Structure 1
Amino acid sequence: MNRKRNQQLKIFGSILILTIVLVGVVLFQSASPMRKAKSQAVKISKNVAGISDVQDFYWFTRDKTYFTVVGTDNKNVEKIVFLPQDGSEAVIMNQKDGITNDEAIKKVLDMKKTKRINKVSLGIYKEKPVWEVVADSIESGLDYYLIDFKSGELVNEINQV
């Protein structure tokens, strides 16, 4: 009886290990597009804006998809590089010319009641740089707020998606 139980435990252990390995492989593969996009965006940002130290990377999709890299150049100037996914020309700005992600979050929290902030990203909407703040609404669903990067004003709001 002991031998049968030991064999069952070995089979169960093998299945458990195999399941853990398969879940790990699936998770690793699912994150691959993000890693690849970030890697390419960082490389391009180094070439076009001299970014030497990357602080943040954002994947932003509204009218178009943008990969946005925030970092400092070799003169320690904080820069933002907006890279359109379609390969059109990059837009380069200084961070000091606009508000930070924390300031964008504060603007949303000051204007609206939300359960919690889920995500913040930086991109271009209607040819203007914006912060997208995604929050859980009080009622249900998600609320999306686009905050103008330069002025900090609300540009667009989509409620309870």
Structure 2
Amino acid sequence: MKKAILITLAVVMSVVLVFSITLLMISQDPMKDAEKETTAIAKETAGLVTVSDFYWYNRSETYFSVFGLNETDEEIMVIVAKDGGKTIILNQDEFITEQEAKELTREDKGSVDILEARIGLEGELPIWEISYKEENGRLGYYVLTAKSGEWVSDIENI
């Protein structure tokens, strides 16, 4: 009797494990597809050769961005609008880095737990959106201009 219960339990756990892994893989497909498509657009429009980072920004509009080197070894970022495919090519040297954006957020917000950074556009303005968790467990979004790191907005206590 114990042997039958153990075998049944092992089968059930195996099915749950296979289902969980399959679900995880399926949930990652849209991200992988977006990165692949954005990279292809960046290679075609900006001469991108290597990709170092990919970002998915989603606020008023959705943007996908890739960072990397172009054919002349310049560090560029290419921002592509999800709707319409509008593409903007920017030189990374003219903008603050993800790390700098996170540090500016920490300096202004104090002891928050930085969760993620995304680059996108608000209108024509390239911005960094930093998501964070406050000490009280609530979430927030801190938005900085990507060019100078100036504060744009802060959404707190979500």
Consecutive unaligned residues in structure 1, runs of 5 or more: none
Report the Cα offset of residue 109 of structure 1. Answer: 1.1
Matched, 1:40 2:25: no
**Higher mean Cα deviation, 41-50 or 108-117?**
108-117
1:131 corresponding residue in structure 2: 128
Same amino acid, percent of matched pairs: 31
Could you tell me whether the CA contact under 8 Å between 1:114 and 1:135 is conserved in 2?
no
**Residues 17 and 92 of structure 1: CA distance in aligned 2, closer, same or farther (over 3 Å):** same
1:85-96 alignment runs, 5 A limit: 85-96=82-93
Give, in whole Å, the separation in 2 of the partners of 1:9 and 1:142: 43
**For residue 152 of structure 1, what is the aligned residue in structure 2?**
149
State the Cα distance separating 1:11 from its structure 2 match: 1.8
In the alignment, is residue 59 of structure 1 matched against residue 51 of structure 2?
no
Secondary structure at the residue paired with 2:120?
strand
TM-score normalized by the length of structure 2: 0.95
1:68-92: CA deviation from partner (whole Å, max 9, x where unpaired) = 1111112211100000000242000
- For the residues of structure 2 that align with 1:27 and 1:79, how far apart are their CA atoms? 31
- Quote how far apart the aligned CAs of 1:140 are: 3.7
SS of residue matched to 2:116: strand
User: What are the ranges of 5 or more consecutive residues in structure 2 without an aligned counterpart?
Assistant: none
Give the whole-Å Cα distance in 2 for the aligned partners of 1:59 and 1:89: 15
State whether residues 106 and 112 of structure 2, in contact with CA within 8 Å, keep that contact through their aligned partners in structure 1. Answer: no
SS of 1:87's partner is coil
Distance 2:49 2:70 in 1: 5
Are 1:119 and 2:122 counterparts? no
Stretches of 4+ aligned residues off by more than 3 angstroms: none
CA offsets 1:42-90 (integer angstroms, 9 cap, x no match): 1111111111110100000121100011111122111000000002420
Aligned length in residues: 158
RMSD over aligned CA atoms reads 1.2
Measure how far apart 1:126 and its partner are.
2.3
Larger Rg, first or second structure (1 or 2): 1
Q: Please say if 1:78 is aligned against 2:78.
A: no
Structure 2 match to 1:24:
21
Partner of 2:136: helix, strand, or coil?
A: coil
- TM-score, reference length from structure 1: 0.93
